[in-house]
């Protein structure tokens, strides 16, 4: 039943997502095409939908009735899981990092879609995947289908890899922000020939993400692919942190292109891409697809 619902729902989405070329003299001879996954849907947009798609199918095939996931107080992922649960008939539970606080727009929308919110202190949250923590959650809430933080499960690889087939232009490199690694793992799996994938970490000190991406690929397809890498230089202080250089870049980009970039994910990766073009890391004459992975808002 959920497969039929997914097919019906995807007809309402803007798929394939638009591919628009940037005209910018700062890019020199490098051609950059923006894959506007943020325009797929107002809520289930970008990598949120692509990551969740096959997890919803799997949850229903296993007879699950409840989805449980993790995220911060401003998490677009938590909001998307709540919306998907309402749309496809799952109860949803959101485990929120930190102390309980007044609702912001994201949490209020999740609750409006029927999600039950519970809060974990930061120490417990860091251990959220430990068996004893998950066992405790099952004792408290009963059985549930676990959707990892950010949606980056092995099944997310399949949904994200489908994005590559939508791109009809020839390209050499696909670029995306990296928060949990699922999108990069999937993009890499969809590539052919000499194409490569490059992710820009939005987290400080997150070299572990290389192992996370490799782990997703090994679990999903049985091997770590060698056509991807992560650049860890452009986190601007860490997750949901920013510096004046990033703000200046966002303002100039808006003036040039009329697009207001999300500063938590998208702007950091795009800044990194521009820097790599300037440094010659991206070869002259290359065609790059830059994936806009989610809503153009400041929430992450």
Q: How far apart are CA 206 and CA 221, in angstroms?
A: 24
Closest CA to 51 of 145, 203, 154: 154
Is 47-151 assigned to CATH 3.30.230.10? no
Residues paired with 34 in a beta bridge = 20, 290
Q: How far apart are CA 201 and CA 182, in angstroms?
A: 12
Check residue 39 and report its DSSP letter.
G
Output the six-digit token pair for 157: 């690889």
Four-point Cα dihedral 108, 88, 84, 91, nearest 10: 50
CB atoms within 10 A of CB 183: 34
3-state secondary structure of 201: strand
- Using an 8 Å Cβ cutoff, are 116 and 92 in contact? yes
Could you tell me the residue ranges of all domains in the chain?
A: 2-43+157-292, 47-151
Half-sphere exposure (CA, 13 Å, Cβ side) for 256? 13
Task: Note down pLDDT in tens along the chain; length 300 residues.
Answer: 677 677 888 888 999 999 999 999 999 999 999 999 999 998 888 789 999 999 999 999 999 999 999 999 888 899 999 999 999 999 999 999 998 888 888 899 999 999 999 999 999 999 999 999 999 999 999 999 999 999 999 999 999 999 999 999 999 999 999 999 999 999 999 999 899 999 999 999 999 999 999 999 999 999 999 999 999 999 999 988 999 999 999 999 999 999 999 999 999 999 999 999 999 999 999 999 999 997 775 443
Residues paired with 68 in a beta bridge = 93, 146
Number of H helices, E strands in the chain: 11, 10
Is there a common fold for 2-43+157-292 and 47-151? Answer: yes
Rounded to 5 degrees, what are φ and ψ at 244? -60, -35
- Using an 8 Å Cβ cutoff, are 298 and 72 in contact? no
Q: How far apart are CA 60 and CA 57, in angstroms?
A: 5
How would you classify the pairing of strands 31-36 and 19-21? antiparallel
3-state secondary structure of 198: strand
Instruction: Give the CATH fold of the 2-43+157-292 domain.
Output: Rossmann fold (3.40.50)
Per residue, the 3-state secondary structure of 245-297, as one string, reads HHHHHHHHHHHHHCCCCCCCCHHHHHHHHHHHHHHCCCCCCCEEEEEECCCCC
Angle at 81 between CA 79 and CA 84, to 5 degrees: 110
Closest CA to 47 of 217, 213, 295: 295
Could you give the C-alpha distances from 33 to 37, 174, 220, in angstroms and in order? 12, 9, 28
Q: Tokens 């619902």 identify what position?
A: 5
């Amino acid at each position: 039943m959920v497969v039929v619902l997914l097919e019906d729902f995807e007809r309402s989405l803007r798929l394939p997502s638009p591919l628009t070329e940037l005209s910018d003299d700062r890019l020199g001879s490098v051609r950059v095409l923006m894959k506007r996954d943020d325009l797929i849907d107002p809520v289930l947009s970008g990598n949120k939908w692509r990551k969740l798609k096959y997890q919803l199918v799997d949850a229903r095939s296993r007879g699950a009735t409840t989805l449980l996931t993790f995220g911060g107080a401003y998490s677009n992922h938590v909001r998307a899981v709540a919306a998907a649960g309402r749309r496809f008939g799952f109860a949803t539970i959101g485990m929120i990092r930190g102390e309980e606080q007044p609702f912001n727009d994201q949490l209020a929308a999740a609750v409006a879609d029927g999600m039950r919110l519970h809060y974990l202190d930061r120490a417990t949250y860091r251990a959220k995947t430990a068996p004893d923590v998950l066992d405790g959650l099952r004792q408290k809430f009963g059985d549930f289908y676990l959707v990892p933080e950010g949606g980056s499960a092995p099944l997310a690889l399949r949904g994200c890899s489908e994005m590559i087939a939508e791109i009809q232009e020839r390209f050499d490199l696909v670029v995306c922000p990296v928060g949990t690694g699922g999108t990069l793992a999937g993009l890499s799996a969809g590539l052919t020939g000499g194409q490569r994938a490059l992710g820009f970490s939005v987290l400080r000190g997150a070299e572990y993400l290389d192992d996370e991406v490799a782990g997703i690929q090994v679990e999903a397809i049985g091997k770590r692919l060698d056509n991807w890498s992560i650049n860890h230089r452009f986190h601007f202080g860490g997750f949901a942190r920013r510096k004046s250089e990033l703000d200046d870049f966002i303002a100039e980009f808006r003036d040039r292109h009329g697009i207001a970039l999300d500063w938590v994910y998208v702007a950091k990766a795009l800044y990194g891409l521009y820097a790599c073009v300037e440094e010659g890391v991206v070869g002259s004459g290359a065609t790059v697809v830059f994936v806009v992975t989610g809503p153009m808002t400041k929430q992450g």
